[in-house]
Amino acid sequence: LAAPDIRARKSSRGQGEAIVCLTAYDAPTAEILDAHCDLLLVGDSVGMVVHGLPNTVGVTLEMMILHGQAVMRGARRAMVVVDMPFGSYEGGKEIAYENCARVMKETGAQAVKLESGPTVPETIAYLVQRGIPVMGHVGLRPQAVLTDGAFKAKGRTDEERLRVLAEAEATADAGAFSIVVEGVAEGLAREITEALDVPTVGIGASAACDGQILVTHDMLGLFDWTPKFVRRYGDLKGEIDRAVAGYAADVRARRFPAEVETYFSKKTA
Ligand code: KIV
Ligand code: NA
């Protein structure tokens, strides 16, 4: 799938199939998710969920390219979108183009995603006009955590609601093929989804969006704590913990390896 296919899903909103998205950071996981998802996002959340960073500000272009390449090796049918990290696109249109083109060339992904604050729609227009499909991202913008403060739902006051709506409209007008809406109340998510002619993909943004995305490690239950908007479909942490405890016990009791797991030299007569 590619940007025009995702874009075309808008017409079926309400009756049609919702857009199914998850994050992916490595090849084997991407291969599993690909069978079920329309879109795989190589999110800069990789910095937090894989690399253990406190937020996404420390994520580099090189990290995104490396994980993008890995995901591309596992994905077959789903569209792959790579997040542009903090500092790679805000400085100007030309720098943004250079970095986005590098990500597209070195990963082979079908699009990039930019967090779209007040100044970014202009850059998105520049990129789209030059052949780079862009997904937008409005509402709670994790890369703005150092100026905005802690991760908190957006659009709860009238002023903020109008600002987020305006940023979503400007992002769509700039040519984004779809927009992630993160951490907003249902009313605002509905307003944005109804105002735009491109599909919205929600995370912590109610059922009013055209599609949904979650951080895969969250929905698989790899962490003890997950936010309110996450539904856990698995207990990967418990699964890994049980498996490793079993291995450790077997090694300590010298039950592993057994004969079936052992190579023997050929008998010579
Ligand atoms: O980085 C990420 O995982 C994201 C999604 C949560 C939308 O941007
Ligand atoms: Na992101």
User: Residue 202 carries which side chain, given as an amino acid letter?
Assistant: G
Cα separation, 269 vs 253, in Å, equals: 35
Dihedral over Cα of 86, 92, 98, 101: its sign:
positive
DSSP string covering 104-116, please? Answer: HHHH--SEEE---
Share of the chain above pLDDT 70, in %: 97
pLDDT band at 260 (very low <50, low <70, confident <90, very high): very high
- Is there an atom of ligand 1 within 6 Å of 213 CB? yes
In this predicted structure, the answer to whether residue 11 has a pLDDT above a threshold of 70 is: no
**Amino acid identity, position 232:** R
Query: Residue 26 forms beta bridges with which residues?
Result: none
Q: Exposed, middle or buried by CB within 10 Å (0-12, 13-18, 19+), for 240?
A: exposed
> Is the pLDDT assigned to residue 100 strictly greater than 80?
yes
Residue-range domain boundaries for the chain: 3-234
Write down the pLDDT at residue 154: 81
Residue 15 pLDDT greater than 80, yes or no: no
Cα of 137 vs centre of ligand 1, distance in Å, is 9
Mean pLDDT estimate for the chain: 95
Kindly report the pTM of this predicted structure: 0.96
Which architecture does CATH list for 3-234? Alpha-Beta Barrel (3.20)
Report the pLDDT value the prediction gives residue 14, as an integer from 0 to 100: 57
ipTM: 0.99
Nearest C-alpha to atom 5 of ligand 1 is from which residue? Answer: 43
Tell me if 218 CB under 6 Å of ligand 1. no
130: left (phi over 0), alpha (psi -120 to 50) or beta: alpha
- Gap from CA of 267 to ligand 1 centroid (Å): 58
Exactly one of 31, 98, 182, 191 is catalytic; name it: 182
Alpha carbons 127 and 145: distance in angstroms, whole number: 25
* pLDDT tens-digit series, residues 45-70: 999 999 999 999 999 999 999 999 99
Which of 20, 46, 58 is CA-nearest to residue 218?
46
Long-range contacts formed by 199-207: CB under 8 A, 24+ apart: 199/6, 199/7, 199/9, 199/10, 199/13, 199/19, 200/168, 201/19, 201/21, 201/39, 201/135, 203/229, 204/140, 204/153, 204/228, 204/229, 205/139, 205/181, 205/229
Residue 178, ligand 1, Cβ within 6 A = no
Cα–ligand 1 centroid distance for 44 (angstroms): 6
Is there a binding annotation on residue 44? yes
User: Please, are residues 107 and 99 in contact by the beta-carbon 8 Å criterion?
Assistant: no
* pLDDT, tens digit, 9 for 90 and up, residues 215-252: 999 999 999 988 999 999 999 999 999 999 999 999 99
φ/ψ of 212, rounded to 5, equals -135, 150
Active site residue 167: no
